[in-house]
Amino acid sequence: KLVLSLARDLKLVGIYGLQLAFNYRDSLVIEDLKKNGMKLYLLSQDAEDNVLTDCNAMNMLEGYDTPIKLEGSTDRQVEESLKVCLKECIKRRNIDLKKEVKEPSVPQ
């Protein structure tokens, strides 16, 4: 099972669950969410290779050179990994904000 958390401006706005196998419709949902500015977070207990295969099949990682991975089998390991992930999220958010300032959106 996979659970996707949907966030806008780092606020949780929804959760999308997938069963063991996904279908083409799931890929379309993922694509639509990304086009609408949603940040996608994946939570899974599967092996990393399986998760990456699923993410690639749904084009979740398209445009992301280095996905952030939260890892750990003990509470302490997960806590440390969360701290590292949070720092990376804040760093990437600041980079995104700087890009928005440099590249103002074009009115349609």
Both tokens assigned to 57: 């099949």
**Has residue 11 got a pLDDT over 80?**
no
Of the ranges 13-22, 50-59, 61-70, the best mean pLDDT one: 50-59
Closest CA to 23 of 44, 2, 43: 2
Q: What are the residue boundaries of the structural domains of the chain, listed by start?
A: 1-64, 68-108
Rounded CA-CA distance 64/70 in Å is 16
CA 69 to chain centre: 10
pLDDT on residue 1: 46
Type of residue at 39: K
Express each pLDDT in 65-103 by its tens digit: 777 777 888 889 988 988 998 888 888 888 877 777 776
